[in-house]
Amino acid sequence: MKGLNRENFFFFGENCSNLEIIPGSVEHAYLAILNDDLDSAKAVFSKNDSPRSKWGNVFCSILKGFLQEYPTYFGIRNFLEIDVDFLLKNEKIGYVELFLGALEILSAINQETYKFTARVMLNNKLYSAALKYMDKSKQLYYNDPELHFMYAKYYMDKHYYNDAYFYINECLKLLPSYYPAKIMKEKIEEINF
């Protein structure tokens, strides 16, 4: 494999300078992805029997441009956000685009797929993409308090406090005891009212 500059890549943590990767490990497969060696990554994932490796096989097939096998509901729930964030932080934009192209299929397995993707985009300050995927998620399931919380965060970041207030109230209608939403509502009221 080609050598990577350890100062310029993200490997599930901020400081990768002392990173040691054991050959044949799941981490080895992810390093192969960073090196654009999807065949090696898939081979390593295939040798491991874990939920992460099963997802890794699906992940590699998506990055190659076609799904050979479908992920599970929990594979999507547990790993989609982590892996899209991994691709974004390592500036693997071509892979991100391939992955985004598979979202419709993945959303048929797990209806929260668009929400998970929106959260990654929001956390990476890719606001127009975040809004796009929140809107897609809202079309599938409006009554998701976490989604409304994300909308409120989005509108807070954009300084659209009336919109943020609407969505935080929608969140609290669905889940009145959601503590982070209560705190956000107080902040919006301090700023805007």
For residue range 121-156, list pLDDT tens digits in order. 999 999 999 999 999 999 999 999 999 999 999 999
Provide the 8-state DSSP code for 70: P
Following DSSP, what letter does each residue of 144-163 receive, concatenated? -HHHHHHHHHHHHHTT-HHH
Place of tokens 């805007």: 192
Residues 80-115: tens digit of each pLDDT: 999 999 999 999 999 999 999 999 999 999 999 999
Q: How far apart are CA 34 and CA 29, in angstroms?
A: 9
Give the pair of three-digit tokens for residue 71: 């992920």
- Pull the structure tokens for residue 55: 């997802």
Q: Convert the pLDDT of each residue in 6-20 to its tens digit.
A: 445 455 555 555 667
pLDDT at 3 over 60: no
pLDDT digits (tens, 9 = 90+) for 44-68: 999 988 999 999 999 999 999 988 8
